[in-house]
Amino acid sequence: MGLGSSHGNGLFFRTLSEKQAEEIHLASCQILEDTGMVIHHEEAVELLRQAGAQVENGNRVYFPSFLVKQALQSAPSRVTLYDRNGEAALHLEGTNVYFGTGSDTLNYLDPFTLERRSWRQEDVANAIRICDKLPNIDFVMSMGLLSDVDPLMINREQYAIMVQNTEKPQVVIAEDGDTLRDIIEMAACAVGGKERLRQKPLFMIYTEPTSPLQHPKESVDKLLIAAENGVPANFACGGVAGASVPTTVAGALVQANAEALSGLIIHQLKAPGAPFIYGYGNSPLDMRSMQAVYGTPEAVLFQGGAVDLAHYYQLPSWGYAGCSNSKVCDEQAIVESTMFTLMGALQGCNIMHDVFYMEFGITGSLELLVISNEVIGRTRRLLKGIDTDKESLGVEAIKRVGPGGNFLGDEHTVKHFRGNWMSDLSDFNNYENWTVNGSKTMVERARDRIKLILDTHQPKSVSEDVKEQIAEVLRKAREKLGVKA
């Protein structure tokens, strides 16, 4: 475990040695062979049976190791997500890192009234608009559960809001296969058809097994639909260490890895070569509060182990950043969210979600989102490392200035100082000037930024024709579900 050199000049942090990664892999294969998984999906069970897996009692499946090897060989080592215009945006490979929000928080911390309340459609639209403006938020998720639409339509309505309020790529959730099919339809409307969506995917689907060692029908449905439509998929357990996965970091990795690999096998049997993003989450159970928590050292180590396994398998990796257990955007929120963000980047996690999560993922904070945008900017500068080319070494400038001189007016300073990272949120004034400017805390300045973005930024929307097509997809879904508009 420790720091090393990345592909460029920057750093990365390795949690597992190559030997440890192999030990976890072999232990996971043992679980797959000896304990197996319960899979509540007839098609998936039959795919596995025909491929050589042993099946007992109709849905208890034991996976021979050759199926693991076969799936790892057929899954692509890189996945690209595109923006709404068809431009490559996220290159999920190697140690590239990207950041985005989370999905489906129950509560919204209103930055203007400061109340903790349910999300409404307008709130999600505003939150996506803010994400569209923030330069270090690379993709969006749905952010909040809508309280002002029928529960059966929430995921569809969320996606309609997302795709019309930002051009950035998305990570989506869907309650079932029919919902995912409607989301695919809306995305196809936005980009110019299903074939174009397959060639240049606008979103990836996040779906989960149920720990320990079970695959629900709905989760597998989405996995198979994604595979056959070329939609990048992540099959990630959300383990709770000490409850649904072992309490030790290594044990949690063994089980979560087995669950992810079993999902990968099913996915690749359905469509060999379909895009798959490897990774999963784990929140240690705090035995005092009986609450699954974010951002502890064990959670960060777990993520590092998962990322190292992704590198071991040569698969794109999935993880977490910018999230906290705090109930308000305070010092605890910044400490926890920053630790996850910085370490996830140093670990080389390709795509990190949940930026803006508070209260264990129950509540969302736009102030934390804006502050995290700054933290990500700082982190990205660190990842670039130090240039040591002739110009950066500055030998000629040092000679010019000489003993007792001053670099302030030297041409080397004029040429290069703008290359240093600069904040547009942190305060670097002295105390007197900070007081003159209102003595505002960072959270207060974040609220000012939220208001400025909402007052001045209007994302590029889709055409009126596309809006009508999306509305028609929603109308047909409501009709099918017997839901009123």
**Is the pLDDT reported for residue 202 higher than 60?**
yes
**Is the pLDDT reported for residue 7 higher than 50?**
no
Predicted pLDDT at 5: 52
**Is the pLDDT reported for residue 6 higher than 60?**
no
**Is the pLDDT reported for residue 45 higher than 60?**
yes
The span from the CA of 221 to the CA of 181, in Å, is: 11
The span from the CA of 229 to the CA of 233, in Å, is: 10
Predicted pLDDT at 10: 60
Structural contact between residues 130 and 451, judged by C-beta atoms closer than 8 angstroms? no
Among the listed residues 351, 186, 331, 337, the one whose alpha carbon sits nearest the alpha carbon of residue 276: 351
**Is the pLDDT reported for residue 448 higher than 60?**
yes
The span from the CA of 113 to the CA of 117, in Å, is: 10
3-state SS track over 20-75: HHHHHHHHHHHHHHHCCEEECCHHHHHHHHHHCCEEECCCEEECCHHHHHHHHHHC
**Is the pLDDT reported for residue 238 higher than 90?**
no
pLDDT in tens, 288-338: 999 999 889 999 999 999 999 999 999 999 999 999 999 999 999 999 999
Structural contact between residues 376 and 136, judged by C-beta atoms closer than 8 angstroms? yes
Q: Is 322 helix (H, G, I), strand (E, B) or coil?
A: coil
* % of the chain surpassing 90 pLDDT: 95
Higher per-residue confidence, 237 vs 11: 237
**Is the pLDDT reported for residue 9 higher than 90?**
no
pLDDT in tens, 123-162: 999 999 999 999 999 999 999 999 999 999 999 999 999 9
Least confident of 71-85, 140-154, 186-200, 283-297: 283-297
The span from the CA of 236 to the CA of 208, in Å, is: 5
Predicted pLDDT at 4: 57
The span from the CA of 360 to the CA of 292, in Å, is: 7
**Is the pLDDT reported for residue 8 higher than 60?**
no
Query: Could you give all domains of the chain from N- to C-terminal order, each with its CATH number?
Result: 72-384 (3.20.20.480)
Predicted pLDDT at 281: 86
As a whole number, mean pLDDT of residues 442-470 equals: 97
The span from the CA of 296 to the CA of 14, in Å, is: 18
Beta bridge mates, 235: 207
pLDDT in tens, 239-252: 899 999 999 999 99
Helical spans, DSSP H, in 135-191: 154-165, 177-191
On average, the pLDDT of the chain sits at 96
pTM of the predicted model, to two decimals?
Answer: 0.96
Q: How far is CA 16 from CA 126, 253, 305, in A?
A: 41, 11, 6
Gyration radius of the chain over CA positions: 24
Higher per-residue confidence, 2 vs 310: 310
Token pair for residue 390?
């002739």
**Is the pLDDT reported for residue 441 higher than 90?**
yes
